[in-house]
Structure 1
């Protein structure tokens, strides 16, 4: 099937929404997560949360600032366009570090999201999301950074952080001047 330029642009906008959502989860930026949804959207987070996406975002605003280190990889994205509606499926491979003192562990989780997107007022956003949990693997924390070959002195290493302390939110990025912001996403 050959896609038109308009269809390619639609697909890219939908993919940008998915990737921005992942960034929001990782950086603890609930505004990015909120921007992924239409105001009346439904979120079914694999049975863990089912209800209005606005309520889900409200929960995330409380949880994310103190949440553990996380990395969401959004992959295997498929998008089926149908006018101003689209159905997407993507996989989120999520790594998180769970600090439990002596019982700390790393968790690797695969989940799959099936999203019904709608274009309203020229903007694609999620109207209904359903998430399915695929698998999970837990392992003891074993962070050696290549046994010291990647980062010999961790005291000098710049680490990722939550909003506003992450490098993404520094003035050097120009984001405070509007550079690098997605339309509809807050800085």
Structure 2
């Protein structure tokens, strides 16, 4: 077994932490429809395979950050992040759960989707970015919405928004 130098170990740890942050920012960009943030996450020649979006990531970025009247809420949560780093390139598998509320024919539907991102990453100008992302759909559930946002104790909570009026921008900025 080859022992890694302390500097090589530190570089691996730093790269993995940067990749975890990259995926957290991707979730934030999706949930807040933050186009500037989303653009910053991709290599210039980034590609995606996301069902109807295959090829250049640029059309996906526009679609993912454009308001959709049928999509009321969304929440992306990433976990089980596995990365293999080789210098300025990396590959990874990241589990994701997407929870959203959709309005279909006047009825609200809660959709849960479980899947994985199979990724290729690369450093550009010293920053880790997504070079290629493939979404693998593993499972989903669709249920009539039972969410209660305006009654009882739920009326007291601050509400999230799918844009830059979300309260997180007051704390974190653009």
- Bin the TM-score by the shorter chain: 0.7 to 0.9
- Structure 1 residues 112 and 12 mapped into 2: Cα distance closer, same or farther (>3 Å)? same
**How many angstroms apart in 2 are the aligned matches of 1:72 and 1:109?**
9
Aligned pair 1:44/2:49, yes or no?
yes
**How many angstroms apart in 2 are the aligned matches of 1:85 and 1:99?**
40
Residue 164 of structure 1: how far off its partner (Å)? 1.9
Q: Given that residues 70 and 103 in structure 2 are in contact (C-alpha distance below 8 angstroms), is that contact kept between their aligned partners in structure 1?
A: no
Q: Given that residues 28 and 65 in structure 1 are in contact (C-alpha distance below 8 angstroms), is that contact kept between their aligned partners in structure 2?
A: no
Unaligned runs of 5+ in 2: none
**How many angstroms apart in 2 are the aligned matches of 1:59 and 1:77?**
25
2:72 counterpart SS class: coil
**How many angstroms apart in 2 are the aligned matches of 1:49 and 1:23?**
20
Aligned pair 1:8/2:13, yes or no?
yes
**How many angstroms apart in 2 are the aligned matches of 1:98 and 1:66?**
5
Structure 2 length-normalised TM:
0.86
In structure 2, the residue matched to 1:164 is: 164
**How many angstroms apart in 1 are the aligned matches of 2:141 and 2:70?**
22
Aligned pair 1:19/2:24, yes or no?
yes
In structure 1, the residue matched to 2:33 is: 28
Structure 1 length-normalised TM:
0.81
Q: Given that residues 110 and 133 in structure 1 are in contact (C-alpha distance below 8 angstroms), is that contact kept between their aligned partners in structure 2?
A: yes
Residue 26 of structure 1: how far off its partner (Å)? 1.0
- The Cα RMSD (Å) is 2.4
Q: Given that residues 65 and 163 in structure 1 are in contact (C-alpha distance below 8 angstroms), is that contact kept between their aligned partners in structure 2?
A: no
Q: Given that residues 28 and 64 in structure 1 are in contact (C-alpha distance below 8 angstroms), is that contact kept between their aligned partners in structure 2?
A: no
How many equivalent residue pairs? 169
- Structure 1 residues 30 and 64 mapped into 2: Cα distance closer, same or farther (>3 Å)? farther
Q: Given that residues 163 and 169 in structure 1 are in contact (C-alpha distance below 8 angstroms), is that contact kept between their aligned partners in structure 2?
A: no
Q: Which has the higher strand share?
A: 2
- Structure 1 residues 138 and 174 mapped into 2: Cα distance closer, same or farther (>3 Å)? closer
In structure 1, the residue matched to 2:114 is: 110
2:27 counterpart SS class: helix
